Amino acid sequence: MKRNNYILVGSSSELSKKFIEMNDNRIFYTISTKEIATNRNLIVGDYIDDIDKIILFIQEIECPTIVFFNGFLAENRPIKIPDIEEIEQTIKINYFVPLFLTSFISNKINVKKFVYISSFAAIKPRKKNFIYAYSKKLLENSISSMDINSYLFIRFGKINTNFSSGHRSSIFDLEVETAAKSLSKKIDIKSGVIYPNLITKFLSIIFYVLPTWVINKLNL
Kindly list the structural domains of the chain, giving each domain's residue range(s) and its CATH number in brackets, ordered by start.
5-218 (3.40.50.720)
Answer for the pair 75, 136: CB distance below 8 angstroms, yes or no. no
* Residue 50 pLDDT greater than 80, yes or no: yes
Q: Model confidence over 126-159: pLDDT tens digits?
A: 887 889 999 999 999 999 999 898 999 999 987 8
- pLDDT at residue 1 is higher than 50: no
Contact 151, 104 (CB under 8 A): no
Is the confidence at residue 47, as pLDDT, over 70? yes
Is residue 58 within 8 Å of 9, Cβ to Cβ? no
Q: What is the pLDDT of residues 173-198, one digit of tens each?
A: 778 899 999 999 999 987 899 999 88
Judged against a pLDDT cut of 70, whether residue 2 lies above it is answered with no
How far apart CA 84 and CA 69 sit, in angstroms, is 23
- Give the pLDDT band (50/70/90) at residue 206: confident
Average pLDDT, integer, range 75-97: 86
